[in-house]
Amino acid sequence: MKILLVFLLCCLSWESVLSGPRCYEAIFNFGDSLSDTGNYLLSGAPKFPGIENLPYGETFFHHPTGRCSNGRLIIDFIAKAFGLPFVPPYLAVAKGPHGHIRKGVNFAVAGATALNSSFFSAQNIALWTNDSLSVQLGWFKNLKSSLCTSKQECDEYFKKSLFLVGEIGGNDYTFLSISGQQSIEQIRPLVPQIVGAVTGAISMLIEEGAVNLVAPGQLPRGCGSLTLTLFQTANESAYDPRTGCLKAYNAFAEYHNNYLKRELQNLREQYPHARIMYADYYSAAISMFHAPKHYGFYGDKLRACCGGGGPYNFNASAFCGQSGTTNCKDPSAFVNWDGLHYTESAYHHISKRLIYGGFTSPPLLS
Ligand SMILES: *[C@@H]1O[C@H](CO)[C@@H](O)[C@H](O)[C@H]1NC(C)=O
Ligand SMILES: *[C@@H]1O[C@H](CO)[C@@H](O)[C@H](O)[C@H]1NC(C)=O
Ligand SMILES: *[C@@H]1O[C@H](CO)[C@@H](O)[C@H](O)[C@H]1NC(C)=O
Ligand SMILES: *[C@@H]1O[C@H](CO)[C@@H](O)[C@H](O)[C@H]1NC(C)=O
């Protein structure tokens, strides 16, 4: 116990009360709205209406920052745990002086897909952004010369950096399934391709010098207010009696996650010097739906805090932040924020489990 405490203290600033040496000097993040700290908003002309308005950001920042929540995201809590500042969005730092990017850069864009946008345009599926994972990796490559110069310098620096690759891929499934053309079962054969985009990104980053990488899995898709609204059914056996979530969509997320875990194992064999961690978002999140009150979620666990009405307070014609939508009084009592994303308190719960609770394997802290 004593050894564990000493280890924790030297590694972390415990909720920023204690500051000590850090495990990581920088964070580089790739992903979608689960980790975007402003790129989508900075990219202009949001097709995801409302995120430029309050109540986005109301709880912590007190103004909209481009984060798809009322407050901080998992990446913000991870940065804090390592004593690092909020990870700045690439589009905010790309044009300015590069002095303040040494502690990391966030390339994630809300709505981003793991597959290239051409995959979707070929099927006439309109995306919210074309800044897919490969575009984000291109941004990283462009910025690299501003971060370090010689190979030796880059290797030293990246060795002390944490690379978060995802969550990404969730939008690929969402856009394919809400386009109405394909059922969840028809989408399943795409899992290897989508996971392949994630593992391809990891390989590329390792070739660039990354050593510490985290690949998060999918959240329980069947518990999201969007899924529950758009795919609601009179068939009672489609719902998990314990959670009220749609079973097929949760099973799909688990299928993706199991596939990802197997592919990560292959990568570990291919790159034995790298530390490739799997972050179990699914398990970290599902407990909030099993025992919401135990974790302080007193509101309706499946209802979005902010939305345009309906049984789950999700309305595809009236997103949170647009006129005519309602916002719950106490977002900390809710898991679902706007139907697609979680509240700050749900993200805080998940990040505590990922950082301290053994839900990242191998653990984030060593
Ligand atoms: C995706 O786009 C990138 C460039 O942005 C390109 O290098 C890559 O080959 C494309 N991948 C596929 C599968 O088309
Ligand atoms: C993505 O690219 C396509 C083709 O270049 C373009 O028509 C579309 O408007 C772009 N979408 C967004 C959201 O920028
Ligand atoms: C109802 O849902 C269950 C579980 O998803 C499924 O096995 C069954 O085929 C569905 N029944 C109908 C009539 O659609
Ligand atoms: C959804 O939003 C539209 C547009 O504001 C509104 O007309 C409709 O009544 C809403 N649906 C529900 C179920 O509240």
CATH number, domain of 293, equals: 3.40.50.1110
C-alpha gyration radius of the chain: 20
Domain count, the chain: 1
Residue 309 lies in a domain: no
CA of 226 to the centre of ligand 4 (A): 14
User: Is 341 designated active site?
Assistant: yes
Q: Which residues of 95-128 are buried (b: 16+ CB within 10 A; e: fewer)?
A: eeeeeebebbbbbbbbbbbbbebebbeeeebebb
User: Is 349 designated active site?
Assistant: no
Asked whether 320 lines ligand 4 (CB < 6 A), one says no
Residue 333 lies in a domain: no
Residue whose pair of structure tokens reads 């998940």 in the numeric block: 350
Residue 119 lies in a domain: yes
| Residue of 69, 332, 338, 349 with catalytic role | 338
Q: Divide the 366 residues of the chain into consecutive groups of 10 and give the mean pLDDT of each group.
A: 44 41 85 97 81 96 97 98 95 76 96 98 95 98 93 96 98 93 91 98 98 98 97 97 97 98 98 97 98 95 97 96 94 97 98 96 88
- Nearest-atom number in ligand 3 for the CA of 247 is 5
Distance CA 76, CA 85 (A): 8
Quick one: pLDDT at residue 17?
36
What is the span of the domain harbouring residue 109? 21-298+346-361
Quick one: pLDDT at residue 310?
96
| Residue of 33, 35, 161, 351 with catalytic role | 33
Asked whether 365 lines ligand 3 (CB < 6 A), one says no
Q: Which ligand is nearest to the CA of 310?
A: 4
Residue 324 lies in a domain: no
Quick one: pLDDT at residue 97?
66
- Give which of 7, 11, 8 is closest to 25, Cα–Cα: 11
Quick one: pLDDT at residue 148?
93
Residue 122 lies in a domain: yes
Query: In terms of C-beta density within 10 A (0-12 exposed, 13-18 middle, 19 or more buried), how is residue 41 classed?
Result: buried
Quick one: pLDDT at residue 182?
84
Residue 183 lies in a domain: yes
